[in-house]
Amino acid sequence: MAEKPFVDYYEVLQLGQNADLETIERVFRLLAKRYHPDNTESGDDERFREVHAAFEVLTDPGLRAEYDVQYDRNKSLQWNIFEQTSAIGGQEEDRRIFRGVLALLYAARRKNPRAGGLGSVDLERMLGVPREHLEFPNWYLKKKGWVEVLDSGQFAITVEGIDKISADDLAVPDNRLLSELRNVAPEEQPG
């Protein structure tokens, strides 16, 4: 019997893994209304079922805990961007690591603008690059002012780093955001 492909329920609900129950419920209501089959403008039966399945799992503490174990395992496989041997040398490999680190730190900062960062172990795991191959890129990115070290000891992208990503066309696409949220008052927006 073929194994079902992993479904990223956080992505289905367009939420971060740390979303609280209230946020999950609020976003679910918004998306359920949008994709409900009775909605003549934007109804989508398949998307509605995905949203409902995500809601069922992420609002049940036991199911969510089990899911988070699978999610972390799958996420580490997805982020294994580089083979170990590809980071051994050369300017092109360094540039790829620079971009990878900046992209990951951008995503972390976007999730938590005030304190979004990643530790060196997280960067190693997500990039699939051993610590010794991250020492030079981390030093360089800090010296350029694109990365800073937070009080927590985590690496975080700076405003200059975000500008660098934007200049390199590595920005997060607009379609990652809920289109309806652009017209919702800030106090009503999830997360």
Read off the pLDDT of residues 53-83 as tens digits, 9 standing for 90 and up: 999 999 999 999 998 888 887 766 555 555 4
What pLDDT, on a 0 to 100 scale, did the predictor assign at position 144? 92
What pLDDT, on a 0 to 100 scale, did the predictor assign at position 180? 41
Comparing CA positions, the residue from 71, 67, 62, 135 lying closest to residue 101 is 135
What pLDDT, on a 0 to 100 scale, did the predictor assign at position 90? 67
pLDDT at 36 over 90: yes
pLDDT at 129 over 90: no
Architecture of domain 9-77: Orthogonal Bundle (1.10)
Architecture of domain 82-167: Orthogonal Bundle (1.10)
pLDDT averaged over every residue in the chain:
78
Question: 96 or 86: which carries more pLDDT confidence?
Answer: 96
Least reliable range by pLDDT among 9-23, 68-82, 98-112: 68-82
49: number of Cβ within 10 Å: 12
The residues near 134 (Cβ < 8 Å, ≥ 6 apart) are 97, 101, 120, 123, 124, 127
What pLDDT, on a 0 to 100 scale, did the predictor assign at position 179? 42
Percent share of the chain, pLDDT over 70: 77
Domain ranges of the chain: 9-77, 82-167
Report residue 89's pLDDT band, with 50, 70 and 90 as the boundaries.
low
Question: 78 or 102: which carries more pLDDT confidence?
Answer: 102
Q: 91 exposed, middle or buried (CB, 10 Å; 0-12, 13-18, 19+)?
A: exposed
What pLDDT, on a 0 to 100 scale, did the predictor assign at position 143? 93
